[in-house]
């Protein structure tokens, strides 16, 4: 029985490693409110409905409030990341208007491959 469990774990690790290499990196850099990207940067309001192309994106309706935690920079400055309730993901900056800036200065940091993973039904999905 434990041999079957060991084989399943090994297959999961191999699958995870192979999938991680094929993750779509949307940008190598992002701007945050702190080096760990844990501080909220701003509060924004949706000015249009938005439905993202995959599970990495935040879907919202006009008028909803979103808290921004990071902004992709350099090669893809149009995408920001934020949360609405328990949902978190990327969205285009031109779909929102800034209501309140919550930080004084932005810090630019490297992105991680884990920034571009989907968490769907308690499992990671790689695009």
What percent of the residues of the chain are helix, what percent strand, and what percent coil, each to the nearest 5?
A: 25, 40, 40
Q: What are phi and psi of 8, to 5 degrees?
A: -65, -40
pTM for the model stands at: 0.75
Domains of the chain: 26-104 (2.30.30.40)
Structure tokens at 126: 């790689």
| Rounded Cα distance, 32 and 24, in Å | 20
Structure tokens at 51: 């439905």
Cβ-in-10-Å burial (0-12, 13-18, 19+) of 60 comes to buried
* pLDDT by residue, tens only, the chain of 127 residues: 555 555 566 444 444 443 443 458 889 999 999 999 999 999 999 999 999 999 999 999 999 999 999 999 998 899 999 999 999 999 999 999 999 999 999 999 999 988 888 765 444 444 4
116 three-state secondary structure: helix
| Rounded Cα distance, 127 and 117, in Å | 8
Closest CA to 66 of 84, 89, 50: 84
Closest CA to 96 of 120, 78, 118: 78
Under 8 Å between Cβ of 54 and 89:
no
């Amino acid at each position: 029985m434990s041999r079957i469990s060991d084989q399943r774990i090994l297959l999961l690790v191999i699958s995870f490693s192979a999938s991680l290499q094929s993750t779509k990196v949307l940008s190598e850099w992002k701007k945050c409110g702190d080096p760990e990207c844990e501080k909220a940067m701003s509060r924004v309001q949706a000015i249009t409905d938005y439905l993202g192309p995959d599970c990495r994106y935040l879907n919202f309706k006009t008028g909803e409030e979103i808290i921004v935690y990071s902004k992709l920079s350099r090669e893809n400055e149009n995408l920001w990341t934020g949360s609405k309730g328990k949902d978190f993901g990327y969205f285009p900056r031109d779909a929102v208007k800034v209501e309140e800036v919550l930080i004084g200065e932005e810090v630019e940091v490297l992105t991680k491959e884990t920034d571009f993973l989907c968490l769907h039904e308690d499992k990671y999905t790689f695009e």
